């Protein structure tokens, strides 16, 4: 271990579970029950529900993504024996982004046709993925991994992290196109760099 300060993995993972539970619950608060002029009008109710459909889509998509991030994180955390300061720092950054996800999802759902929402939603997703990559790298480089984990398993997990991040960047290229050629080129270059790192990992 490289640091005199270490925290029990159980305590950190309890915090992670709590933050995810709250963030995933907050997502539904943006899906409002419609106010009707005529409470007995089925057409008015159905019309209001249809108007709220983008918000509902954003809710289910974001809930699924947070669930995926939660599973992904715990699969990585299973390989860790304890947390030191740098690993705690990247975990806190990860949780800060997870906590901001309900805001990004609400913005995305309320203004689904506005490409400007992608400036908030996509970077939050990308930074969460980046934190997942850095989590394993920091744990590996600082000797915080469990001794019974084989090096091959760590390499496989690292490649999987990089591949997920690279595919996200490739998928983000079309989303960056409405903002001009420079953002899309930057994202494409980042994707190429991550793919290159994946081949070397």
Looking at the domain assignment, is residue 192 inside a domain?
no
Residues spanned by the domain of 135: 9-149
Distance CA 64, CA 22 (A): 14
CA proximity to 133, closest of 183, 192, 194? 194
Confidence of residue 197 (pLDDT cuts 50, 70, 90): confident
Residue pLDDT, tens place only, 104-136: 988 888 887 788 888 889 899 999 999 999 999
The residue with greater pLDDT, 7 or 86, is 86
Looking at the domain assignment, is residue 201 inside a domain?
no
Looking at the domain assignment, is residue 182 inside a domain?
no
Looking at the domain assignment, is residue 46 inside a domain?
yes
Looking at the domain assignment, is residue 144 inside a domain?
yes
Looking at the domain assignment, is residue 28 inside a domain?
yes
What SS3 string covers the chain?
A: CCCCCCECHHHHHHHHHHHHHHHHHHHHHHCCCCCCCCCCCHHHHHHHHHHCHHHHHHHHHHHHHHHHHHHHHHHHHCCECCECHHHHHHHHHHHHHHHHHHHHHHHHHHCCCCHHHHHHHHHHHHHHHHHHHHHHHHHHHCCCECCCCCHHHHHHHHHHHHHHHHHHHHHHHHHHHHHCHHHHHHHHHHHHHHHHHHHHC
The domain total for the chain is 1
Residue pLDDT, tens place only, 29-70: 877 766 777 777 777 777 776 777 888 888 898 999 999 999
Looking at the domain assignment, is residue 198 inside a domain?
no
Question: Whole-model pTM above 0.75?
Answer: yes
Kindly report the average pLDDT of the chain as a whole number.
Answer: 87
């Amino acid at each position: 271990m490289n640091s005199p300060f270490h925290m029990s993995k159980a305590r950190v993972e309890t915090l992670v579970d709590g933050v995810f539970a709250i963030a995933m619950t907050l997502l539904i608060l943006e899906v409002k029950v419609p106010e009707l002029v005529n409470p007995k009008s089925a057409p008015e109710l159905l019309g209001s529900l249809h108007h709220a459909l983008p918000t509902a889509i954003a809710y289910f998509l974001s809930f699924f993504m947070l669930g995926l991030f939660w599973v992904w994180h715990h699969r990585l955390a299973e390989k860790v024996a304890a947390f030191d300061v740098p690993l705690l720092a990247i975990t806190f950054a990860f949780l800060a982004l997870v906590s901001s996800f309900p805001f990004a999802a609400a913005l995305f759902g309320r203004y689904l046709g506005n490409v400007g929402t992608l400036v908030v939603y996509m970077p939050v997703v990308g930074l969460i993925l980046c934190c997942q990559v850095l989590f394993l790298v920091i744990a590996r480089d600082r000797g915080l991994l469990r001794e019974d984990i084989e090096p091959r398993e760590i390499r496989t997990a690292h490649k999987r992290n990089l591949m997920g991040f690279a595919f996200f960047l490739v998928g983000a290229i079309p989303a960056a196109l409405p903002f001009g050629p420079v953002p899309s080129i930057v994202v494409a270059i980042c994707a190429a760099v991550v793919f290159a790192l994946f081949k070397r990992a």
